[in-house]
A and B are shown apart, each in its own frame.
Chain A
């Protein structure tokens, strides 16, 4: 049977977190009461004139530069004409043949080394209003009518188009995850998938493995999470493979992902619906970016995940741990703070990717929601290193810190978890344990070292886990010698 290779490209939309909209001074404010952040410009009232938000242009440049794009010296806004109730002007101001950023790349790594994914373009446009469909299940197909809130209309929106360089759903996941991290790192968008400030569409076709020509592509829409993107692509790979194996043709179309059924279905589109009749936006003059401006924005770029990864390796972190921390803004900032507070990098990193991650999963919270900070983590790891806390007691202390009970010092004291290493305090307890386990002591004297672990365990139990196992072991050996 013939093997097929998926060819995937991803279109990502990102809303910018500017204070005001792309072409007017209405606030960008998710969750504001409906239809309160509107004015003649974003409502498309006759005669209203758009004026470009300069900060939005700079944010767009920031994204382009972070994705290794060329910034166009001359770029132009265009009208994309179509009718839809959430778009009050009946055209969207976008960019068409002269976008701001072109020809970049973003490297992803799914474990087989870095793979560059080409970035065709990054362009500026405006978001549409938000529709709520009224009727069965809130779905557009079954709706009796729809309600429109124009607060989102005109919010600065970046469209980031990838080359068809992605070869699996797993790579697609890695790509959007990395892209999201980049955008968050830049501080130009909150990139919240659940609120729609980051959204993506996938283009996917199959071709026989080893061939070059592209097959017929399908566009998939309506994926609200990275997981649903991955599921939708895998479903589409299966669906297209079945078609091709049955000798049938894939139809070029837009398909709608259904989260409940885990399938895609065709969205019948009306004839000519894709005739957008783009033309230069006459109300806006071109954007010109000279070297001086481009260099000024470049100089302000923050460290990106790939750069942080390299720096963490230089600090001596293991690759997998460095990868996790460099690709999560929250982890990165807590890690940096812990190291700045005197924490040993690898130890702090191990805590973050190990026990902290497990704790957050158990408590279904995020690092930002918990009370864990860099200072606490540095303190905790040094308390383990100097023997003040046992490894197991440290986990309890961490849970206490996360729950806001205080600093590791305070939590260890209040939960009575400070490790006992003082031999004067431990000797009487060890002696009691030895007296109660004469048989084990006999074996030890006979040279059976395996019983030491058992005896240490007994001491730990007697001290409620607070004894320093190293110190206990030493006392046991000296007593048995």
Chain B
């Protein structure tokens, strides 16, 4: 079952910088996945509720109780850049 995939768009959305050889390799891999999905989609599923999860479980909740947080110094030490008690990130919008 042939599928059409814009692998460059998928890479862009995932912020992946891929060269032509990689694009082609991942396109082929994604194609296999999508072909499988297309086969599943072709099955008669009238009256079958959509399966969002394979586990036969619902309502896995926790109580609204506060637990311990991480140490700020330990957290910020993992950041590429920091400014005082904050994470520092490059400017967000390109356009002025």
Which residues of chain A have a CB within 8 Å of any CB of chain B? Answer: 18-20, 24-27, 33-40, 43, 51-57, 74, 76, 81, 83-85, 98, 131-133, 135, 140-150, 268, 272, 275, 277, 280, 282, 284-288
Chain A residues lying within 8 Å of B59, measured Cβ to Cβ, are 54, 285, 287-288
Chain A nearest Cβ from B25, distance in angstroms = 21
A26 — nearest CB in chain B belongs to which residue? B69
A24 — nearest CB in chain B belongs to which residue? B67
Q: How large is the interface on B (under 10, 10 to 19, 20 to 34, 35 or more residues)?
A: 35 or more
B56 — nearest CB in chain A belongs to which residue? A285
5 A-B contacts (beta carbon < 8 Å): A20-B67, A145-B91, A272-B13, A285-B57, A286-B53
**Pair B60/A35 contact, Cβ less than 8 Å:** no
Chain B residues lying within 8 Å of A150, measured Cβ to Cβ, are 87
Q: A25-B68, A26-B69 are in contact. List 15 more A-B contacts (CB 8 A).
A: A20-B66, A33-B72, A35-B72, A35-B85, A51-B60, A57-B61, A76-B53, A140-B93, A141-B95, A143-B91, A144-B91, A148-B86, A149-B85, A149-B87, A272-B13
Chain A residues lying within 8 Å of B52, measured Cβ to Cβ, are 76, 98, 280, 286
Chain B nearest Cβ from A33, distance in angstroms = 7
B33 within 8 A of A: no
Cα A282 to Cα B84 in complex, Å, equals: 36
B12 within 8 A of A: yes
Given contacts A35-B76, A131-B92, A143-B92, contact A54 B63 (CB under 8 A): yes
Cα A35 to Cα B66 in complex, Å, equals: 16
Chain B residues lying within 8 Å of A282, measured Cβ to Cβ, are 53
**Pair B62/A51 contact, Cβ less than 8 Å:** yes
Report which of A40, A52, A81 forms a contact with B62, defined as CB distance below 8 A: A52
Cα A189 to Cα B9 in complex, Å, equals: 40
User: Which of A36, A84, A146 has its CB near the most chain B CB atoms (within 10 A)?
Assistant: A146
B58 within 8 A of A: yes
Report which of A53, A142, A148, A280 forms a contact with B89, defined as CB distance below 8 A: A148
Cα A52 to Cα B76 in complex, Å, equals: 26
Cα A366 to Cα B59 in complex, Å, equals: 42
**Pair A26/B66 contact, Cβ less than 8 Å:** yes
Given contacts A35-B76, A268-B95, A280-B52, contact A20 B65 (CB under 8 A): yes
**Pair B64/A20 contact, Cβ less than 8 Å:** yes
Chain A nearest Cβ from B29, distance in angstroms = 17
